[in-house]
Amino acid sequence: MARKTTSIFSKLLIKFLMVMSIPLLVLLITYLYYSESHITNIIRSQAENSLDDDVNKIDALFQEYKQRILSIATDIKIIEILKNDKIDAETSKYAYTTLFAQIGSGQYNAQCHLISASGKVRLSTHIFPPEYDIRINNNEWDSHILNIDSKGFSLSPVISIENHRTTESGKLIIISFIKQIKDEDGTIVGYAIIDLYSDIIAEFINHATVLNEELLIDYSRYYAVSLLHPTIHGSLINFNFNNENLIIIEKEIPNTEFAIKIYADASPYKTSLASSMLLFLCAIIIGSIGAVIVSLVFTQSITNRFKALTESMKSVESGTLPIMLNDNSGIEEFDQLSLSFNMMILQLNELMELTREEEAKLAEAERKELESQLNPHFLFNTLNTIKALARLNGQDEIYTISIKLGKLLRASLNRKESECTLRESLELAEGYLTIQKIRFKDKINYEIVADESILDVMTPRLIIQPLVENAIIHGLEPMTEPGLVKISIKDLDTHILISIQDNGVGFDTSELSKNPDSFLDGQHVGLYNVYRRLQLKYSNNLYFKLKSAHNEGTCIEIKLPKGDSTWHNTLQ
């Protein structure tokens, strides 16, 4: 499966962008989730503040005018006038003074009316409104008041917001305070009424911008009037604002059945929020583009170094050594990397120099070898020709030497197989001895004794012949007398005993026993080679004994385990 690889450039770029977009996204989400509810909360709290304020003010207004109407209704002289049901110049003066005093001198925010139970006496600070004329609206009006007065009319004045009318001076009546006036017997003698102008409300009501509408509600009659737009009034059912953007809060006026209800509209803020959102999005987009550009620049600046490095690496790969990298980029890691790379290149250069030298040496050696090499086939064919000539001319010794020499040469050239049978080893040794015998005639004699049963056992090649060669060259050749080499191979059931014995000059073994490695020195290399190869193969199972003394000859005994080697099965 091929793994998808991406360049460091795109990886870095993607990661930079991810890092940069996280705060932007968080900001966006926060803005979207919290701004709206936050605006709503602000509006609500503003509305609540102004509601509290307004409730307090209306409450104070109510208290004030209740007090005023009570002072009229409890005025003994007024009661007297109404009880008598007639008025003269003196009493009327008193009554008017009292009435005007209660509605505030000079500030005409209200009208005050007084009417006797019969309706005969009608006094007003302004024009007595026909609506209050008991003679015309007797039943209706009384029942109206009675209707209002369901919880002890006598104690506290009735506050009504239903008496909407416009006065002759163009003022709008918004709230009316009505009080029955009773004599000491408890008989109703008349009514006192204070009508408040809408102006007084408009004066102190908060006109906070968030307020869409503010209603004064009379829950005893389910009637409401707008405090912001006093001309609007009517049954509560008619006031129905269905807008999800409206924040509606309501608060009772203490000890009354009145309440103020506020409608605050958040939609303009939301609209402005939406437009600012657009701006915000634009900012985010511009920010993102900026982020991309900055990321690109950053990434480019980082990857350029990598590119330079990889280019150099590639040129190493393709075999040409690049020039050194700049190791002064100002970034610690890059400098380290460039430095290491440069070191590597330097070492590579040195190595290549060395290799070139070695190659040159090798080529030279090979050339020399080729020049000096004699084709072995040529050698063998020539030996065969010599042998043929010897045969044709009846030269038996030449024939024998050429045959045996051919075999010896083959044995030393054939290095592919590490083992051969003892028979082959023995034949080789015998071939060698035959040649030496022809050369030195009677000076060299040999005996071979071998147990036939073990001749097909495989042993390492060239173990007997080198030892025999050693015996002849170092043992017999220096002698003036004829010498004898004995080869014996014995079957010891589990082991094979090979011994090569000569009666030559011998040598001092004291040094060898101290340090077997001194085998290596001088004339004993052949011996050491055999010992070493056997040791490598048989390690602890090898028994190798060397006995020698001056002028007494040398004897080498080798004991090898039989089972360690595979049996060689001949075909015939």
Partner 1 sequence: MAQYTAVIVEDEIITLNELLLTIPWEALSLKITGTAMNGIEGEDVIKKEAPDIVITDIKLPGQDGLEMLSKCPIDYAIIVSGHTDFAYAKRAIKLGVVNYLEKPVDDDELIDTLKLIVSKLREESSSIKKSKLNKGLEIISLPDEVNNHSINLAISYIKEHYKESFGLQDIAEYANISENHLSSLFRDVAGINFLHYLNGYRINKSAEILKTTTLNISEIAELCGFPTPSYFTKIFRKYAGMTPTQYRDSIFSQN
Residues of the shown chain interacting with partner 1 in the complex, contacts defined by CB under 8 A: 376-378, 380-381, 383-389, 391-392, 399, 402-403, 405-407, 410, 414
Give the separation between CA 243 and CA 54, rounded to whole angstroms: 23
Contacts of 341 (CB under 8 A, 6+ apart): 309, 312, 313, 325
Question: Is 3 or 377 the residue whose CB approaches partner 1 more closely?
Answer: 377
Contacts of 212 (CB under 8 A, 6+ apart): 241, 246, 263, 264, 265
Question: Is 406 or 466 the residue whose CB approaches partner 1 more closely?
Answer: 406
Least separation in angstroms between CB 497 and partner 1: 29
Least separation in angstroms between CB 380 and partner 1: 4
Least separation in angstroms between CB 476 and partner 1: 26
Name the 3-class secondary structure at 241. Answer: coil
Question: Is 376 or 478 the residue whose CB approaches partner 1 more closely?
Answer: 376
Give the separation between CA 113 and CA 181, rounded to whole angstroms: 12
Least separation in angstroms between CB 541 and partner 1: 31
Q: Which residues on neighbouring strands pair with residue 252, listed in sequence order?
A: 259
Least separation in angstroms between CB 465 and partner 1: 17
Give the separation between CA 136 and CA 134, rounded to whole angstroms: 5
Least separation in angstroms between CB 401 and partner 1: 10
Q: What order of strands is seen across the sheet that includes strand 246-252?
A: 233-235, 223-226, 211-218, 258-265, 246-252
Least separation in angstroms between CB 404 and partner 1: 9
On whether the CB atoms of residues 102 and 112 are closer than 8 A, the answer is yes
Give, in order, the Cα–Cα distances in Å from 536 to each of 47, 412, 524, 532, 533: 106, 20, 18, 6, 5
Question: Is 28 or 383 the residue whose CB approaches partner 1 more closely?
Answer: 383
Give the separation between CA 417 and CA 354, rounded to whole angstroms: 35
On whether the CB atoms of residues 113 and 95 are closer than 8 A, the answer is no
Give strand ranges (E) for 393-436: 419-421
Question: Is 329 or 395 the residue whose CB approaches partner 1 more closely?
Answer: 395
Question: Is 157 or 406 the residue whose CB approaches partner 1 more closely?
Answer: 406
Give the separation between CA 166 and CA 172, rounded to whole angstroms: 5
Question: Is 318 or 572 the residue whose CB approaches partner 1 more closely?
Answer: 572
User: Alpha helix (H) ranges present in 127-266?
Assistant: 134-148, 198-204
Assigned token pair, 204: 């102190």
Question: Is 228 or 408 the residue whose CB approaches partner 1 more closely?
Answer: 408
Least separation in angstroms between CB 384 and partner 1: 4
Q: How many CB atoms sit inside 10 A of residue 70's CB?
A: 17
Question: Is 349 or 385 the residue whose CB approaches partner 1 more closely?
Answer: 385
Question: Is 182 or 387 the residue whose CB approaches partner 1 more closely?
Answer: 387
Least separation in angstroms between CB 399 and partner 1: 8
Least separation in angstroms between CB 537 and partner 1: 23
Name the 3-class secondary structure at 416. Answer: coil
Least separation in angstroms between CB 551 and partner 1: 38
Least separation in angstroms between CB 385 and partner 1: 5
Least separation in angstroms between CB 549 and partner 1: 39
Question: Is 161 or 405 the residue whose CB approaches partner 1 more closely?
Answer: 405
Q: Name which of 374, 402, 409 is nearest 388 in CA terms.
A: 402
Give strand ranges (E) for 140-245: 158-160, 165-166, 172-182, 188-197, 211-218, 223-226, 233-235
State the pairing for strand pair 483-492/444-450: parallel
What is the maximal distance between C-alpha atoms in the chain?
196
Q: Give helix then strand counts, H and E, for the chain.
A: 13, 18
Q: How many CB atoms sit inside 10 A of residue 450's CB?
A: 16
Give the separation between CA 449 and CA 225, rounded to whole angstroms: 146
Q: How many CB atoms sit inside 10 A of residue 303's CB?
A: 18
Question: Is 248 or 398 the residue whose CB approaches partner 1 more closely?
Answer: 398
Question: Is 171 or 404 the residue whose CB approaches partner 1 more closely?
Answer: 404
Q: Taking phi first (over 0 means left), then psi (-120 to 50 degrees means alpha), and beta for anything else, what does residue 61 get?
A: alpha
Contacts of 311 (CB under 8 A, 6+ apart): 322
Question: Is 106 or 394 the residue whose CB approaches partner 1 more closely?
Answer: 394
Question: Is 129 or 431 the residue whose CB approaches partner 1 more closely?
Answer: 431
Least separation in angstroms between CB 397 and partner 1: 14
Rounded (to 5) percent helix, strand, coil in the chain: 55, 20, 25
Least separation in angstroms between CB 572 and partner 1: 8
Orientation of helix 376-392 relative to helix 396-413, angle to 10°: 160
